[in-house]
Amino acid sequence: MLGKDFEDFVALLLKKRFPDYALLIQHRLDSGLRPDFVLECDEKIIVADAKERQVLTKASIEQICDYIDELNADYGIIFVADFTEISEVVEDYAIINAVEIEYTNWKKPELNFPKVLRHRN
């Protein structure tokens, strides 16, 4: 499952980047929302999402803003694959809403088709 692989990759990044934080994965909030990651340390809360998609949209920013509001988090981070396209409008919207967008070195999975050899007589 491709999305799950990317989430696992981001979880490892978060553990390295925030070693002193408790990392909650797919924690269901009271509202029923389920952010990919919630990081907690003392009184500080960070919400993070992993988005492995071609284009990041304003809706993704709004989604993490809902998590931030419900948890009264300090800020949010959206980790994206290296091939993800992000418009200037979406980048600006993220900045205004205290959401960092961070590219990772996650590449688009290549499809490997078996070679079929045909012999002509």
pLDDT digits over 87-104, tens only?
999 999 999 999 999 999
Top CATH class, 2-103: alpha beta
Section 12-21 average pLDDT: 96
* pLDDT confidence tier of residue 60, bands split at 50, 70 and 90: very high
CB atoms within 10 A of CB 28: 10
pLDDT at 107: 85
Domain ranges (residues) in the chain: 2-103
Please give the single-letter amino acid code of residue 46: I
Q: pTM to 2 decimals?
A: 0.84
Inform me whether the pLDDT recorded for 121 exceeds 60: no
Task: Report the relative pairing of strands 37-41 and 44-51 from DSSP bridges.
Answer: antiparallel
- Whether the Cβ atoms of residue 82 and residue 107 lie closer than 8 Å to each other: yes
Section 41-56 average pLDDT: 95
pLDDT at 72: 95
Inform me whether the pLDDT recorded for 111 exceeds 70: no
- Whether the Cβ atoms of residue 110 and residue 88 lie closer than 8 Å to each other: no
Q: How far is CA 44 from the centre of its chain?
A: 19
